Structures are given as structure tokens and as C-alpha cells.
Amino acid sequence: MRGHFARRSRSILAIILASAAFTSPLYAAGPYAVGTSEVDPVGTCYADSWASFAQNGDFVGITNPACVFNFGHPLDLGIEFKRAESDGDWTSQLKIKAKANIIPIARYGLGFGINGNVNFDLLTHEARSAALFFPISLQLAEPLRLHLKIGMQWDLIRNRSFETWGANLELKVAPKMKVLAEVYGQDDDRPSAQAGLRYSPHEKIDFEFVYGRNIEGEQSNWFTFGVNMRF
């Protein structure tokens, strides 16, 4: 039990240190699976980091540092480090991510982008999966946005592909507070859902408090605490 607690404590500490070393985009996805179609201005850097605890004892810790570069078009490039425990087994994964905005939401009240990633297993040194999806953002009202995503994910180990989808509502309820809720899934699997609060005491930092169900596909309740930082 003591070794189990020590391993989990080290994972949480690594996430906290990583988030201190980098700092979240103006439209941070944070711990949510469905994010905005927008990309921050060139030169912006950020890190979204969070720890999720399941009622069944599972754990997920993630930190996601990234910056926006100019390659003739703004491109958000980042890495996502994931440390997770399921049924007593620990895994470590590294995801390389890229995102571009095609249609800015400010132009028509509808934004469109493209997002892709490749996920590597750091223990087996294998490429586990790849994904390509298209985020869509709608400005429904001044304080309310709807984010959607559709796409494909490829399981490179089992040589299978899955359709992915999701929807996220983002409502600003106070100058420093947002409520977010989403549902997402792949193919005909039972969907996952999350809802939470985003508190932004300063323009460069957000705190996340999220409750979720089935976020890793195991039919359990999850509680997530996160921080998004930017510079």
C-alpha cells in the first residue's frame, strides 16, 4: 500500500512541476475531450495539467505543454504526457499534437479547425494510436458557445479504426467563472460525460473542478482537479 501511494504521489508531483514550468491557451480545453476550433496568437505558450481520480481506484494524470508557431499559418504544436493506473497496472504515454484553425469564429460566429495526434507507449516504445478530427465552434450567444468534434481514431496495435464524436457547451456565468458540460464517445460504445466549473482568478490562469462518468471507458465516477496556465 505504501509503495502504491508513493508511486501515485510521484505522478501527481510530476504533473504539478510540469505545469509550473510551462504555462493554457485563451480557449483552453483543459481536462475536456472536446475543445475549441480556435488557435491562440502566434507566440502564445501554455500548459493544461490535471489529475483525475475514479471511484474504483483508477487514476489519470496529464500535462499538456504547447506553443503556437507561424508556418505561414498559425499552428498549435504540443505534447501530452499521460501517467495512468487501471486495476493496479501503470502506463505512461506521450502524445504529439498539432492543431490549426481554418475559419475563425469571429468572422461568421462559426469556427472550423483541424486537429491531429499520434500516441506513443513509453514502456513498450510503440505507436499505440493516431487520430484526426475536425473541431467546430458556434457562438450561440454572447456568454454561450457550443463546441463539436467529429473524426477518426486508429488503433495501431489492433489495426482498427473508430469514428469519434463529441459536443461541449461552455457558458460564462460570471466574469471569472464558466460552466462546461460535454458528452463524447466513439462508434456505438457507451458515451462518456463530464461537467464542471472553470474559475479564472487571473487572465493567465484557470482552475478546473470536474465530475465525470466513464471517462476512461470503465463505467466509474471520476473527479478531476486541474490548472491551466499561459504566458
Domains of the chain by range and CATH?
2-230 (2.40.160.40)
How far is it, in rounded angstroms, from Cα 209 to Cα 201? 14
Q: What is the pLDDT of residue 187?
A: 85
Element (H, E) at 106: helix 105-108
Q: What is the pLDDT of residue 25?
A: 40
Dihedral of the CA atoms 172, 174, 177, 179 (nearest 10)? -40
For 38, phi then psi, to 5°, come to: -80, 155
Run means of pLDDT, 10 residues per run, the chain, 231 residues = 49 42 48 94 95 94 96 97 92 97 93 97 96 96 95 95 96 96 88 95 94 83 95 86
pTM for the model: 0.85
For 2, phi then psi, to 5°, come to: -65, -40
* Spatial contact of 146 and 135, defined as CB atoms under 8 Å apart: no
* Spatial contact of 22 and 204, defined as CB atoms under 8 Å apart: no
How far is it, in rounded angstroms, from Cα 211 to Cα 192? 11
Q: What is the pLDDT of residue 24?
A: 36
